[in-house]
Structure 1
Amino acid sequence: MSLPTLRGYLKLLRPTQWLKNLMIFFPPFLGGTFFLAVIRPTALIPFVSFCLASSATYILNDLLDMEHDRNHPEKRLRPLPSGRISPLSARALALILAGAAIALAWKVSLSFLSFLLLYGAVSSAYSIRLKEYALVDIFCISAGFLLRLEAGGAAFGVTISEWLFLSVFLLAVFLSTGKRLSEKNRLGVSAANHRKVLATYPEGFLDGTMFMTGGAVLVTYTLYVISRHSSLLLYTVPLCCFGLLRYILRVQSGKGGDPTESLLRDMPLFIVGLVWAVMVGWGIYVP
């Protein structure tokens, strides 16, 4: 197998998107049991399982979007639209990844497996049909974040608090809306040729939804940190506010709204995220 082909298969897996699966570690991290959880020999199995499952769903989505992606200025360079990887090879790889993900999830627990299967079902339904319906597409993407969170709770035996659930849900809707708005703005009049649902969102709707959910995230996150009774965690609220506003600025400036790419490519966002993690960790684990 040639090096370009290997790179094509690696790109097909979208490894940068695996960053989203770190959400699995949020419950033990925020619950104060992170170090007890990660020293277990099987600690990485839930993460690896979701990485394999998510890559399988990305391949399915690419297979179904192949023709539309050829009309996109950037996505036309992906392995399937460009012809570097054949559809038959992609299907075989997706089946292997899905089977491996289920096998690993079975070793974790039945409850974790149920969340993984539900994630696969929602993601597949989104790729096949649900992405064509306004709002439903955003809520399907958001469900992916919530299922990762709940799966992490199931894998490490941590109960998800109400405020954390609401914060993650609203943050997921905020980021999903920003991604759609970015696509709509960047593609302009040809947006519907790539993604039909973009034509169904009236002018200003996505902007308003992003602003509304961004404000709601700030409120629910503030209530979450207050419920933790930690003065240091309270000081992470300004960081949260800056991160939300920075993401909005990025989307409105036409720099892209993909959450993972925004975090990795936008240095202020990356620094804020790193400082947030350090402050939260210090507030929870240092007496």
Structure 2
Amino acid sequence: MTPYLRLLRAHQWLKNLMLLFPPFLSGALLQPALLQRGVLPILSFCLASSATYVFNDVHDAERDRHHPVKKGRPVACGEISRGRATFFGVCLLVGALFCGSRVPGGFFPFLAAYLLINACYTLGLKALPVVDIFCIAAGFVLRLQGGGAAFGVIISEWLFLSVFLLAVFLSTGKRLCEKGGLADNAANHRKSLEGYPEGFLELAMGITGAAVLVTYAMYTLSRHALIYTVPLCTFGLLRYTLRVKAGGGGDPTDALLKDLPLCVTGLLWVVLTAFGIYR
């Protein structure tokens, strides 16, 4: 794999499937020409997310060299110079803005907000405890709202709360795994980690995980066919928690792709939800 392909972090594009949640859950995914409408929104967020990863790698190159895994990233290990990576990131950014501007409706403000929050995150907000978690969670929520705008679907209050709290839960798990894995070197790589006292991240995971179950259950009560997916949601939350506490890695995308029980749970959720909505 070439360094520029690795710089894209294409496996993280899986998060952009969140844009399809509104039409999928509303029962509109199979409407004629709807999938074609999703090409530009998804492409714009893929380019935008890769652009933010590139700029983050350029900004954090020195810190990444102290990380056991991130030191192998193209900029940190010197495969790509900072100048070339920056130019590549600008090209991705321009492509994202162009594609986003071609999407009708109120989609573009959500894309712009995503880029702005990530820029602020890279430049300083990532160093602030709790704020860094909310910045990551905002990316999921903006994808959800952007999908609603692109496909003309209204996001229900319970769905919004479920996605937001799930994003906070997953982001907290990622920070907990980093703090445990890096140990005494945690603050050298990510400043915010030294601001989390012992036990805080575990408590935050417990609170947000429980809140996810409540809000998702309330969402399914308005969609009676989905009530049978609540046990899957429960299993997924507990499995992710187990993975984090066992040191298996807290990145949500890696967890979904590399943890077989989580992967199967996700696929079963899609199948059961599709059956309940589209049967």
**What is the TM-score when the length of structure 1 is the normalising length?**
0.95
1:36: how far off? 1.4
Residues 158 and 204 of structure 1, relative CA distance in 2, 3 Å threshold: same
Q: Deviations over 1:149-200 (max 9, x none)?
A: 0000000000000000000000000000000000000000110010011000
1:216: how far off? 0.5
CA RMSD of aligned residues (A): 1.0
- 2:276 matches 1:277: no
CA contact (8 A) 1:37 1:43 kept: no
Alignment equivalent of 1:164, drawn from 153, 159, 164: 159
CA distance in 1, matches of 2:105, 2:142: 14
CA distance in 1, matches of 2:151, 2:118: 23
The size of the alignment, in residue pairs, is: 279
Kindly provide the amino acid, as one letter, of the partner of residue 48 in structure 1.
L
Q: Deviations over 1:266-287 (max 9, x none)?
A: 000000000000000010000x
Residues 157 and 198 of structure 1, relative CA distance in 2, 3 Å threshold: same
Kindly provide the amino acid, as one letter, of the partner of residue 104 in structure 2.
S
Match of 2:65 in 1: 70
Q: How does 1:125-136 map to 2 (within 5 A)?
A: 125-136=120-131
Give the unaligned 5+ runs of structure 1.
none
1:37: how far off? 6.3
CA contact (8 A) 2:23 2:148 kept: yes
Match of 2:169 in 1: 174
Match of 2:252 in 1: 259
Match of 1:61 in 2: 56
1:45: how far off? 1.0
- 2:116 matches 1:116: no
Kindly provide the amino acid, as one letter, of the partner of residue 27 in structure 1.
P
1:40: how far off? 4.9
1:43: how far off? 2.5
CA distance in 2, matches of 1:40, 1:272: 25
Alignment equivalent of 1:234, drawn from 227, 232, 257: 227
Report the secondary structure of 1:235's partner residue.
Answer: helix
CA contact (8 A) 1:37 1:156 kept: no
Alignment equivalent of 1:150, drawn from 126, 129, 145: 145
Residues 236 and 177 of structure 1, relative CA distance in 2, 3 Å threshold: same
**What is the TM-score when the length of structure 2 is the normalising length?**
0.98
Identity %: 57
Moved over 4 A (4+): 37-40
Give the unaligned 5+ runs of structure 2.
none
Report the secondary structure of 2:129's partner residue.
Answer: coil
